[in-house]
A and B are shown apart, each in its own frame.
Chain A
């Protein structure tokens, strides 16, 4: 007994200290070059400090030496999974500044392409989410179905990821003759795949045990931290710009804003899954009604914006993307600021992950759907 007592006294004197580990910059579940300095006590996260800047590319500074049509191809490279929406924001901003109205056909094409891009992005998010939780099968299934969308992109504008499709005044290419047929075929096929996704991952007991009731984000905190997109909508924050500030052809379609007031990891997952159905519904409403007309306005060779400040925001797959252009009347912008959704979403991670296990941190990061060039721009 005495021996045991001695051991117990000795144990009391062991200092249980917090320790720091680096998660990243090279870590498979950070999906890029993101370094999280995690303060741990045992397995419990006490503090998460995101360190960024490893792939800072200075896009905002570079933009100052580019003309307005050239601006789009750089924004492609920020959030590469929402390339269409990013270029759309730039195009809309320039069009608003010049006070030109693009043809109806352009609006329809832009909306359809944006929703296809959102589908592709959510598919990739879904398969990567499964992979982060240890289910590699989802990765292959998601990428397999995403290929169909990328094929449509490739036929339409000749690229798969960095599309540079929306340009000020319209779109780069008209849709190809079989576009509608291909999109419909994809939608028909994808409608059978989405329930499969649900069967594979959504109900899985391991997945639900790790996500349900984990890492809550309240509505107030979501607003306070500037969280937008599906992440914020899972907490009940009505922030879908497609609904509240319609641009392009979003005012012509009926769709639900997916909201939930739970705000845990599983809800963030469910909101994105439900958004895919909404995207399908939006595409179905538009695809047969693309009006005839020009696919681009005739713009001047050198686009000069009037003096002033212009802001345009769009809803990308991750949240609110904003373009702020300060123009001094020359052909280059005086200053460009991008408000990227990933940056604001990332810095809420410390608030959410506190008190949860380090394995939950991986799941939280997954549901935030981080794209690192979007954060480090």
Chain B
């Protein structure tokens, strides 16, 4: 008799635990307006991206097409996997003094691990992280970018 009692009790307890779990799911089933997911491609305009989000490395230019990069190559040294290549050129000013300047700041987005070490190391703050995140392209060569715009030059007063 005791065995039968225990058997039935076990079954009822089992069903009760299932109902307890179902109550949790039912709560969310009947209050869906509290727990909506993000409608991602539609909400692009209202999407809030964190200020520090590490999307890609960019080099901000001002309205005169000037940047802060001196071409010192510290970001290249600090990059753990060779995503950054610096090609420098030598400028000669009016007094005949030679000066190193950036020719091409090449950035391989496809290799970048977004570790932030280059930005932390940059002595002049020439490169920053952008908040863009939609990086998909049809051809991987498009992932190799030149960060300094054509015809740009270094800002006045920025020194190594």
A contact set with B: CB distance below 8 Å: 66, 69-70, 72-74, 137, 144, 151, 154-159, 162, 164, 167, 172-173, 176, 196, 199-201, 203-206, 208, 301
Contacts and interface: CB of A to CB of B under 8 A. Distances in A.
Nearest to B54: A158
Q: Interface centre among A151, A156, A172, by most B CB within 10 Å?
A: A172
Interface stretch (B11-19, B102-110, B138-146, B150-158): B11-19
A209 to B, nearest CB: 8
B20 A158 contact: no
Contacts of B52: 154-158, 173, 176
Given A144-B35, A204-B17, A159 B114 contact: yes
Nearest to B23: A199
A154 B53 contact: yes
B117 A70 contact: yes
A200 B25 contact: yes
Given A172-B120, A205-B14, A73 B113 contact: yes
Given A69-B78, A154-B50, A158-B52, A201 B113 contact: no
A203 B18 CA distance: 8
B92 interface: no
B111 to A, nearest CB: 13
A74 B54 contact: no
Given A69-B117, A74-B80, A301-B74, A199 B53 contact: no
Q: Which of A155, A156, A203, A206 has the most CB of B within 10 A?
A: A203
B21 A200 contact: yes
Contacts of A196: 24
Interface string B1-41: 00000000000011101101101110000000001000000
B126 to A, nearest CB: 16
29 contacts: A66-B80, A69-B117, A70-B115, A73-B115, A73-B117, A74-B80, A151-B50, A154-B53, A155-B50, A155-B51, A157-B52, A157-B116, A158-B53, A158-B54, A158-B129, A159-B114, A162-B114, A172-B116, A176-B51, A199-B21, A200-B21, A200-B25, A203-B17, A204-B17, A204-B21, A205-B13, A206-B18, A301-B74, A301-B121
A300 to B, nearest CB: 12
Interface residues of B, number: 27
A156 B53 CA distance: 9
Given A155-B50, A158-B54, A164-B115, A199 B18 contact: no
B74 A164 contact: no
Contacts of A69: 78, 117
A69 B21 CA distance: 47
Interface string B62-91: 000000000000100010100000000000
Nearest to A73: B115
Contacts, number: 71
Interface of B: 13-15, 17-18, 20-21, 23-25, 35, 50-54, 74, 78, 80, 113-117, 120-121, 129
Contacts of B116: 157-158, 164, 172
B23 A73 contact: no
Contacts of B113: 73, 162
A346 to B, nearest CB: 26
A226 to B, nearest CB: 30
B115 A199 contact: no
A205 B18 contact: yes
B135 to A, nearest CB: 14
A74 B17 CA distance: 44
Contacts of A173: 52
Contacts of B117: 69-70, 73, 164
A112 B15 CA distance: 40
Contacts of A164: 115-117
Nearest to B129: A158
A201 B54 CA distance: 37
B14 to A, nearest CB: 4
A74 B24 CA distance: 40
A155 to B, nearest CB: 5
Nearest to B15: A205
